[in-house]
């Protein structure tokens, strides 16, 4: 990969050389979530500081508090952040409420084209309205929900033999959600090396976005749609279709029959901990965790494998994660912040971003002939990014998320009512939101 990007690296160095003379050195603050990729970005940004003369500071907030903290900052017109790596669902509010600087003219002036990035990340992280060439961010971190599994357990001859006898197929990467459920149930309560283990860690967290980011990986693949494809904001029969109901029932069965005790409020961190400590055979989680899995002495070094979210009766999709990087409209240092965007977009910087553990969305990186074999999880990342769907990115995103969290958690975890009642209620909730927004 490095060899293929050497010529662009030289060109980028020439482009960057004028930064410090073109502008006064500034102290820039970049705001993001507190997680492993943020530490990689600190390391990567040392190159920007050296070339531009600007100093970088970072405001990182843990994921459970990230949305509340940063959306409050934007809504109040705060000047803490010059650059914001905001969640994909924020793009609508960032654009319509004037929080983010529109970047079209800047992109045109600096030969930055969205055609150079993975299409799903442009739609998910940069565009508003969706599928229009209006850009308020540069794709910064590609991410998607996928699965990690204990490859070393799956390969044990005695477990292979028992699974083959029970299910009539080899114990391996599942081709469907039903096969995934079978595997989870096979490992549930099983003794592995004197320890009781469980089938899977899945997202169940209620307080922020966790269970929504989990259940959609079943809903999409059973036929759930956010709206009528031919009539925006027409929800009846799409959000609560027969397929969507079956998908929600599937996720509840996964919760009831494959997860560890006490996992009623789990999200990214809890799933990571359960997997690394040897509690579960599989974990649902965003792809950002995979570098850490590989480096872990307990589960790395070939002990783990990776696979995309399996197909369901209505197709194969996975919940999009990830973020774009935006210039905050309230910043008094927008020129310097734009320099950072220009630097970050360079192919050699994006290649280094991948090497450090960041997930580049640049085609020149992910389509490089050496990418798929550059890490054990690289091919799974590519396959997963090809099947993504995302939650609402409407300006009222938070008002749409809260009732979904409540309705789904009440059914899946608390066992209240039926799947149909949960989704019928969600339709009513969302219709009310869109009526208040003047969309209906």
Are the beta carbons of 271 and 203 closer than 8 angstroms? yes
- CATH 3.30.450.20 correct for 145-319: no
Q: Which pLDDT score is estimated for 24? A: 84
Report pLDDT digits (tens) over 55-70. Answer: 999 999 999 899 999 9
Q: In whole angstroms, what is the distance from residue 21 CA to residue 54 CA?
A: 11
Q: Distance (Å, rounded) from C-alpha 400 to C-alpha 429?
A: 8
- Residue whose token pair is 């608390």: 414
Whether the pLDDT of residue 14 is over 50: the answer is no
Tell me, what's the pLDDT at 64?
87
Identify the residue whose tokens are 């920007």: 48
Per-residue model confidence as pLDDT tens digits over 147-178: 999 999 999 999 999 999 999 999 999 999 99
Tell me if the bond preceding 206 is cis, omega within 30° of 0.
no
* CATH H-level, domain 27-143+321-389: superfamily: Periplasmic binding protein-like II (3.40.190.10)
The mean pLDDT value of the chain amounts to 94
Locate the DSSP E strands across 177-247.
190-192, 195-201
Percent of the chain with pLDDT over 70: 95
User: According to the model, what pLDDT value does residue 41 have?
Assistant: 98
Look at residue 19 in the predicted model and tell me its pLDDT: 53
Q: Is 321 helix (H, G, I), strand (E, B) or coil?
A: strand
Mean pLDDT across the stretch 397-409? Answer: 97
- Tell me the angle at which helices 177-187 and 242-258 cross, rounded to the nearest 10 degrees: 20
**141 has a pLDDT exceeding 80:** yes
pLDDT in tens, 241-254: 999 999 999 999 99
CA distance 400 to 428: 11
**What are the pLDDT digits (tens) for 358-388?**
999 999 999 999 999 999 999 999 999 999 9
User: Which string of DSSP letters, residue by residue, matches 248-286?
Assistant: HHHHHHHHHHHSPTT-TT--HHHHHHHHHTT-EEEEEEE
pLDDT digits (tens, 9 = 90+) for 36-45: 999 999 999 9
* Residues facing residue 143 across a β-bridge: 321
Q: Are 366 and 360 in contact (CB under 8 A)?
A: yes
Q: Looking at the DSSP assignment, which residues form a beta bridge with residue 58?
A: 30
Q: CA 117 to CA 141: how far, in whole Å?
A: 11
High-pLDDT (> 90) share of the chain, %: 94
pTM of the model: 0.93
- Residue 438 neighbours by CB under 8 Å, 6+ apart: none
The residue to which tokens 């630097």 are assigned: 343
Report how far residue 192's alpha carbon sits from residue 153's, in angstroms, rounded to the nearest whole number. Answer: 8
Q: At residue 6, does pLDDT exceed 90?
A: no
183-210 residue pLDDT tens? 999 999 999 999 999 999 999 999 999 9
What burial class does residue 332 get, using C-beta atoms within 10 Å of its C-beta: 0-12 exposed, 13-18 middle, 19+ buried?
exposed
In the chain, CATH 3.40.190.10 sits at 27-143+321-389, 145-319
Give the pLDDT confidence of 293-345 residue by residue, as tens digits: 999 999 999 999 999 999 999 999 999 999 999 999 999 999 999 999 999 99
């Amino acid at each position: 990969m490095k060899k293929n990007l050497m010529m662009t690296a030289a060109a980028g160095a020439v482009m960057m050389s004028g930064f410090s003379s073109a502008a006064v050195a500034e102290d820039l603050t970049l705001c993001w979530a507190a997680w492993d990729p943020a530490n990689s970005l600190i390391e990567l940004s040392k190159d920007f500081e050296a070339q531009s003369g600007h100093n970088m500071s970072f405001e990182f907030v843990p994921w459970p508090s990230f949305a509340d903290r940063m959306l409050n900052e934007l809504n109040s017109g705060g000047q803490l952040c010059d650059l914001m790596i905001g969640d994909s669902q924020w793009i609508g509010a960032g654009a319509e409420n004037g929080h983010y600087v529109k970047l079209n003219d800047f992109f045109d002036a600096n030969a930055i084209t969205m055609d150079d990035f993975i299409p799903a990340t442009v739609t998910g992280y940069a565009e508003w309205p969706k599928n229009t060439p209006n850009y308020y961010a540069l794709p910064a971190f590609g991410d998607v929900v996928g699965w990690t599994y204990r490859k070393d357990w799956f390969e044990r001859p005695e477990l292979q033999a028992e699974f083959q006898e029970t299910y009539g197929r080899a114990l391996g990467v599942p081709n469907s959600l039903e096969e995934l459920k079978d595997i989870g149930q096979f490992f549930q309560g099983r003794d592995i090396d004197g320890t009781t283990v469980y089938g899977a860690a899945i997202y169940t967290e209620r307080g922020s976005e966790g269970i929504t980011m989990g259940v959609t990986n079943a809903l999409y693949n059973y036929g759930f749609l956010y709206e009528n494809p031919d009539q925006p904001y027409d929800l009846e029969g799409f959000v609560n279709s027969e397929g969507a109901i079956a998908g929600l029932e599937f996720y509840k069965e996964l919760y009831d029959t494959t997860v560890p005790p006490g996992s009623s409020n789990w999200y990214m961190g809890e799933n990571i901990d359960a997997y690394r400590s040897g509690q579960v055979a599989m974990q649902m989680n965003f792809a950002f965790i995979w570098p850490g899995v590989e480096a872990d002495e307990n589960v790395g070094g070939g002990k783990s494998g990776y696979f995309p979210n399996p197909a369901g009766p209505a197709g194969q999709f996975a919940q999009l994660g990830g973020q774009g990087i935006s210039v905050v409209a309230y910043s008094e240092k927008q020129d310097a912040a734009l320099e950072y965007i220009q630097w970050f977009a360079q192919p050699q910087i994006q290649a280094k971003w991948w090497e450090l553990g960041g997930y580049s969305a640049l085609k020149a990186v992910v389509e490089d002939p050496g990418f798929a074999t550059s890490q054990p999880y690289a091919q799974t990342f590519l396959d997963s990014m090809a099947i993504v769907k995302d939650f609402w990115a409407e300006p009222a995103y938070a008002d749409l998320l809260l009732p979904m969290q409540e309705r789904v958690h009440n059914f899946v975890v608390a066992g209240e009512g039926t799947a149909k009642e949960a989704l019928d209620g969600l339709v009513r909730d969302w219709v009310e939101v869109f009526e208040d927004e003047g969309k209906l």
